[in-house]
Amino acid sequence: MNAVNCHVTHLESPVDGSRFAPGIAHGTHLGRPLLVAYDIDGIRRSVDPETLRRRPPGMWRYRELLPLPADQVPVSLGEGPTPLLSCQRLGGALGVPGLVVKDESLLPTGSFKARGMAVAVSMASWLGLKRLAAPTAGNAGGALAAYCARAGLEAFVLMPEDTPVVNRLEAILYGAKVFLVNGLIHECGALVRDNAESCRWFDMSTLREPYRLEGKKTMGLELADQRDWTLPDAILYPTGGGTGLVGMDKAFRELRALGWLKTDRFPRFYACQSNGCAPLARAWQAGSRHAETFKGAQTRASGLRVPAAVGDFLILDAVKASGGRVVEADEERIDFQMRRACSLEGIAICPETAVCLEALENLVKDGSIGKDDDVLVWNTGAAQKYIECLEAPARRIDKNLPLAPQMA
């Protein structure tokens, strides 16, 4: 297929610079991700920020910076922009009164995974693929299933047998063929890869095809757009496979190349992991560009239970270049941070974001983040999807007694 009406020039390997033609289904090269390259000069000639502002809001506003040809209708579930929410009470408790949360829980299927799957499934459909498969430890499976249902494609989802129940049920509800595996997500991923030929499916795993990253890139494009082309001082991002962080870094670099940003300074990225599964944090501490598989991975933040990330070097490179850090937070503090944030602000904070809040509190204490810094935390999913983390006893009252004494 020819990528007509599209500014994609080629796909490129960050490992050895090899280039690949667009308009063809691609996976990895040398076992590592491929990145989409664009004709930046062509984009600059065809669109500007003011033109974008006249379009409907949402991730498809940025079509020139996305790989789907302009004459193709996206596979969409109505992905709107997600709000930037000022959180003064929560920020005050954490030591950064100006804290802002960007709330991705309002996207289709309740998480940021909608961004990546909207673009990846749109591209798969345009490329003529019919059967898609992915491993998941959380929200990606439901998003793949929903967008495949929307596109009329087959979806196969392989997930650890202890994946949160809502994630299991929603993938089934959307018509995916769901298989529970007695292993972790990287072992589910190995099953997807090893059986791709015999099962005739295309591997949609994180960073093992190039287009989920382009969808996640809209996180950075939208953030800059909402802030009138400025960026915060610091971004805290819950990091498992890390596609969103790599995507934001790519977005900021493309926006700088276009000349749209009003600043040359990028935010400091803080990639946040639970100490129950912290392969990138351990690699960071060791000064390594690649992470070893984390043994015995276990965390209530299921989206962070990624013992091995194929894009580890892309994540670590982006964090290092930004002047930030990869940090690990105490697994035992997830419930506290989640409940405090939800009760103070009314935002459906997921456990992955609770890890960021714990990390933020520690970074403020050690002076890495100042109280006057412009800090943004990503809430990547809806709390309601983690019923295992919501269980708490409610107070019971006697209907025959006055209420006030019972409330004491």
CA distances from 212 to 200, 361, 369 (A): 20, 31, 31
Which pLDDT score, from 0 to 100, does residue 405 have? 82
Low-confidence spans in the chain with pLDDT less than 50: 1-3
The count of C-alpha atoms lying within 13 angstroms of the C-alpha of 295, restricted to the half-sphere facing its C-beta, is 0
- Helix ranges (H only) for 95-200 are 113-126, 139-151, 165-173, 185-194, 196-199
Tell me the pLDDT tens digit for each residue of 50-74: 999 999 999 999 999 999 999 999 9
Residue 296: per-residue pLDDT: 94
Average of per-residue pLDDT values in the chain: 96
What pLDDT does 4 receive?
Answer: 53
Say what angle helices 113-126 and 139-151 make with each other, to 10 degrees: 40
Determine the Cα–Cα distance for residues 389 and 339; give it in Å rounded to an integer: 9
Domains and CATH numbers, the chain: 84-110+211-390 (3.40.50.1100)
pLDDT for 5: 65
CB 353 within 8 A of CB 235: no
pLDDT tens sequence across 84-114: 999 999 999 999 999 999 999 999 999 999 9
pTM: 0.95
